[in-house]
Structure 1
Amino acid sequence: MRAGLAALFALALTRTEPLQAQEPAGAIVFKACQSCHSLDPAKAGMAGPHLAGLKGRVLGSAEGFDYSPAFRAAKTQRLRWDEERLKAYLADPDAVAPGGWMSPPTGLSVEDRAAVADYLLGR
């Protein structure tokens, strides 16, 4: 019996995956964005708009946020957030909203941008 328990304990120690579910990769990447953006639409006064319900939302349309002229123009054109637009924006904000106020996020790989897009659009 002791040998069986010892073997089970040894097996548990050699597992590389935690027993609990891991955070999605996009949630981990998004933590760096939380200094400016929230996922709570009720949280006001941040440097950037809330990102709750982003999928399909018209650019520049989060209530209570003072958008740049670039995003106000995008709103009048009824441009909507989708996976390709969000990944392009994360790679180069000026490519999507020229003259917008967000600086390009530094250090994000193609995989990081895809993960955070999946995370934000899947919410």
Structure 2
Amino acid sequence: MRAPLAALVALASALAARADAQEPAGAVVFRACQACHSLDPARPGMAGPHLAGLNGRPLGAAAGFDYSPAFRAAQARGLVWNRDRLIAYLADPDAVVPGGWMSPPAGLGQADRAAVADYLLGR
């Protein structure tokens, strides 16, 4: 009985590793962001706004989210999300939106920030 169980566990581990390998790098990095953000605009009540349709969207413009005054001011200035702005924001949110309320996951390198930006903006 142990041999079939061990084989099943090994198969499940191999399939999970294969799925990660086929998943875009940005999707893997985004997992850490899912504690606060969703890709589903219909999912309310998260700590951060949904990130669906982010490319070209004005900062502070996800319907139904209570943005900080800093994000509302960025929206009023007409700032929109693009690759460079998102990468810069993930590196140092306060440099892009002073007074915004986000802390990106610790340990993101430049390649991680670029991968998650490409993933989010390509959706």
TM over 0.5: yes
Residue 36, structure 1, aligned to residue 63, structure 2: no
Distance 1:21 1:60, change over 3 A: same
* Letter of the 1:31 counterpart: R
Partner of 1:94: 94
Q: CA deviation at 1:20?
A: 9.7
Residue identity (%): 75
Unaligned runs of 5+ in 2: 1-17
Give, in whole Å, the separation in 2 of the partners of 1:111 and 1:91. Answer: 11
Q: CA deviation at 1:76?
A: 0.3
* Structure whose CA Rg is larger: 1
Give the alignment's Cα RMSD to 1 decimal: 1.8
Give, in whole Å, the separation in 2 of the partners of 1:58 and 1:86. Answer: 12
Shifted more, 113-122 versus 18-27: the winner is 18-27
Would the aligned equivalents of 1:91 and 1:105 in 2 still touch at CA under 8 Å? no
Name the SS for the 2:27 alignment partner: helix
- Given the two structures, how large is their TM-score scaled by the length of structure 2? 0.83
Distance 1:64 1:118, change over 3 A: same
Name the SS for the 1:112 alignment partner: helix
Partner of 1:3: none
- Given the two structures, how large is their TM-score scaled by the length of structure 1? 0.83
Unaligned runs of 5+ in 1: 1-17
Partner of 2:72: 72
- Matched residue pairs, number? 107
Partner of 2:119: 119
Give, in whole Å, the separation in 2 of the partners of 1:72 and 1:96. Answer: 13
Partner of 1:109: 109
Partner of 2:22: 22
